[in-house]
Amino acid sequence: MTLEKTKKISSGYFMLLLLVILVTLFVIGILQSNPYFIISSILLIIAIIPGFILVNPNTSKVLLLFGKYIGTIKENGFFWANPLYKQRTISLRASNFDSERVKVNDKLGNPIMISTIAVWKVKDTYKAAFEVDNYENFVRVQSDAAVRKLASLYPYDNFEDDGKTEEITLRASVNEVSEALEKELSERLNMAGIEVLEARIGYLAYAQEIASAMLKRQQATAIISARHKIVEGAVSMVEMALDKLNENKIVELDEERKAAMVSNLMVVLCSDKDTTPIVNTGTLNH
């Protein structure tokens, strides 16, 4: 529920014209040594000047009268209102916030460094002005709390040796994590009248004390995965070679010869280095 009220006030150009007239009367009073013109014009000038209000585009003025909320001017332009109004300027522009990198533990307990980038703007000027002490500082603190909570809900990454895989991870599930962060921030900042336009992870990495170990783990996982693919392909190629030799009746091999051929082909196909072939110019038995 919003308590914001949009205030419509009169243009300031008429009062500006009146101010020019009063200044003219003040000058005439000085020239004619007329105390009535001087005193009255000074009093009216002092009363009129504080009432001028200039509202720039995408800014607003919150008006208070002896501690009571009168309304908010959101229309940009030059206005004049009650000189007793206390004015507070609140920007309606979109603001970009890049939080500091904080160390937190992910779902698996691994220490990570994480930061968030949020784009926000004031939607309800009443809440921003009166529901929180300082809405800009409130955004910073709540963004830090939201990213800490988010990091504890998801693992940094999946590893095949974990025995189970997570559907959402901080590193791989960028869209899902951003949506969750945006929702969490919106719920936290709603009480301050803040609308979250975008929120996403700005920085993500393992903490320094485990970064080296985790890098080796990632490399080992990648090597194992690559080896699995290589062996799977090599077995398929050996099977195809044996089938073709048997189908075309090129050579007949007993079980011992087949085993030797399979061993040699697997070594050639799975080796990290180039193999050096040895040509047998004799018979199969030599």
Question: What is the H or E stretch that residue 211 is in?
Answer: helix 208-248
The pTM assigned to this predicted structure is 0.68
CA distance 65 to 42: 24
Cβ neighbours of residue 262 under 8 Å, at least 6 residues apart? 238, 242
- One pLDDT digit (tens) per residue for the chain, 286 residues: 568 888 888 888 898 999 888 888 888 888 887 788 788 888 888 889 999 999 999 999 999 999 899 999 999 999 999 999 999 999 999 998 888 888 888 888 888 888 899 999 999 999 999 999 899 999 999 998 998 888 888 888 775 555 455 577 887 788 888 898 999 999 999 999 999 999 988 888 877 776 566 666 666 666 666 767 777 777 777 777 777 767 776 666 667 766 776 676 666 666 666 666 665 655 555 4
Q: What are phi and psi of 198, to 5 degrees?
A: -160, 145
d(CA 170, CA 153): 9
The pair of structure tokens assigned to 92 is: 């309606």
Which residue's structure tokens are 């003040």? 26
Give all strands (DSSP E) within the chain, no chain letters: 52-55, 59-65, 68-73, 77-80, 86-91, 95-98, 102-105, 111-122, 194-206
Show the tokens assigned to 124. 């309800």
**What pLDDT, on a 0 to 100 scale, did the predictor assign at position 93?**
92
Tokens of 260: 């030797």
> How far is the C-alpha of 21 from the C-alpha of 255, rounded, in Å?
116
Q: How high is the pLDDT of residue 61? A: 93
pLDDT at 270: 66
How many Å apart are CA 160 and CA 53, to the nearest integer? 64
The H or E element containing residue 50 is: none
Residue 239 has what DSSP assignment? Answer: H
What confidence score (pLDDT) does residue 196 get? 92
Residue 74: name the closest of 61, 93, 89, 88 by CA.
61
